[in-house]
């Protein structure tokens, strides 16, 4: 009924698909990206409040003490992935795009975007900087 080459083709196809879908969190046709937020505020500052979301996912509120990191991962979809975060600390606020697939220049390193939050604002290792919104005097 089936030729030997047909059986081999079906078996290899089954093995390939089983390999591709072996993990629930794997990204099919896209690669996984990681965004981290590291609290490097001075020791006298209160904890940092972080709220990140995308069009489809609200990642909730997180509180980071000094030297603490929180992060999230997602499968990149070209030209459509966009995550933004709101940060608050002691009357200061900062609204930032944590990752945008439409960036002409990608400031992240090898699939990792680690934002360091300090007294000046949020920055990435490649130089991207977003400053705190200062409260009115």
CATH number for the domain including 79? 2.60.40
Q: Check residue 7 and give its pLDDT.
A: 65
What is the C-alpha radius of gyration for the chain, rounded to an integer number of angstroms? Answer: 21
- Of 77, 113, 110, the closest CA to residue 97 belongs to 113
50 belongs to a structural domain: yes
Asked, for residue 99, whether it belongs to a domain, the answer is yes
Q: Does residue 60 form part of some domain?
A: yes
pLDDT on residue 64: 98
Across all residues in the chain, what is the average pLDDT? 83
Q: Which residues contact 3 (CB under 8 A, 6 or more apart)?
A: none
Q: What domain range includes position 36?
A: 25-131
Express each pLDDT in 58-106 by its tens digit: 999 999 999 999 999 998 877 788 999 999 998 899 999 999 888 767 7
Helix %, strand %, coil % for the chain, to 5?
A: 10, 45, 45
In sequence order, the 6+-apart residues with CB closer than 8 A to the CB of 38 are: 67, 68, 69, 114, 115, 116, 117
Name the most confidently modeled range: 1-5, 40-44, 58-62: 58-62
Are 68 and 86 contacting, i.e. CB atoms less than 8 angstroms apart?
A: no
What is the total count of domains within the chain?
A: 1
How does DSSP classify residue 90?
T
Query: Could you tell me the two tokens for 23?
Result: 């993990």
Confidence bin at 31 (pLDDT 50/70/90)? confident
Residue 19 CB partners (closer than 8 Å, separation 6+): none
pTM, 2 dp: 0.75
């Amino acid at each position: 009924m089936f030729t030997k080459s047909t059986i081999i083709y079906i078996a290899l196809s089954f093995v390939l698909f089983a390999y591709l879908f072996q993990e629930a969190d794997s990204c099919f046709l896209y690669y996984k990206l990681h965004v981290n937020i590291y609290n490097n505020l001075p020791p006298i500052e209160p904890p940092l409040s972080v709220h990140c979301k995308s069009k489809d996912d609200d990642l909730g509120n997180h509180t980071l003490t000094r030297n603490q990191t929180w992060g999230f991962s997602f499968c990149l979809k070209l030209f459509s992935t966009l995550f933004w975060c709101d940060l608050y600390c002691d009357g200061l606020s900062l609204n930032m795009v944590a990752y945008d697939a439409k960036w002409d220049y990608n400031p992240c390193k090898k699939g990792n975007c680690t934002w360091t939050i300090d007294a000046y604002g949020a920055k990435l290792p490649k130089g991207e900087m977003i400053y705190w919104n200062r409260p009115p005097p």
